[in-house]
Amino acid sequence: MERRRLGETEFRFGEFGPGYLLRGPRTDLGVVRLRPGDDASNHYHRAIEETFVVIEGSATLWLNGRERFSVTVGDVCQMDPGDQHYFVNESDAVFRAIFIKAPYDPLDGVQVPWVPGDPLPELAS
C-alpha cells in the first residue's frame, strides 16, 4: 500500500503545475494546481487515457485547440489517447484538479506548443 496526502504534492513549477502523488506501476495519480493566470501546456498522450476531477476553483479547458469548456468543482473530464488538452486559469482563484493517467508510461507525453489565438494545432494521427 502507498499512502499520500494532497498537501504533500510537489508541483513541477514550485507553486503550480502538475504534481504527482503516486507513480506507477499501472497508473499515475496527481494534482494540477493553477494560480490565476497560470496555464498547463498543451499536450497529448499517444497511449495514455487521462482523467481530471476538478476539486477547487474553475478553469478553461481547450480540447484539440478547437473546443472550449468551462470546468468547475465536480466536473470530470476524460481525455482519450491523442486528445490535446490545455488548461488555463482565467479566474481570480486557485484551480485544482486530480488527474489519473493509465496505463503507466512516464515517457508518453507529447508537447504541442499552442495557446488560444495561435493557428490551430495539428492533431495526432
Output the domain CATH number for residue 101.
2.60.120.10
pTM of the model: 0.95
Give every CB contact of residue 4 below 8 A, 6+ residues apart in sequence.
21, 22
pLDDT digits (tens, 9 = 90+) for 45-68: 999 999 999 999 999 999 999 999
Q: Which contiguous run of DSSP H or E holds residue 76?
A: strand 76-79
> Which range of residues forms the domain containing residue 101?
20-105
Residue 8 lies in a domain: no
Residue 119 lies in a domain: no
Residue 5 lies in a domain: no
Domain count, the chain: 1
The Cα–Cα gap between 33 and 124 comes to: 26
- 72 with 58: CB under 8 angstroms? yes
Residue 92 lies in a domain: yes
The Cα–Cα gap between 13 and 38 comes to: 11
pLDDT digits (tens, 9 = 90+) for 89-117: 999 999 999 999 999 999 999 999 999 99
- C-alpha cell belonging to residue 47: 497511449
Residue 7: pLDDT band (50, 70, 90) is: confident
Give 102: exposed, middle or buried? Use CB within 10 Å, 0-12, 13-18, 19+.
middle
Residue 82 lies in a domain: yes
Residue 1 lies in a domain: no
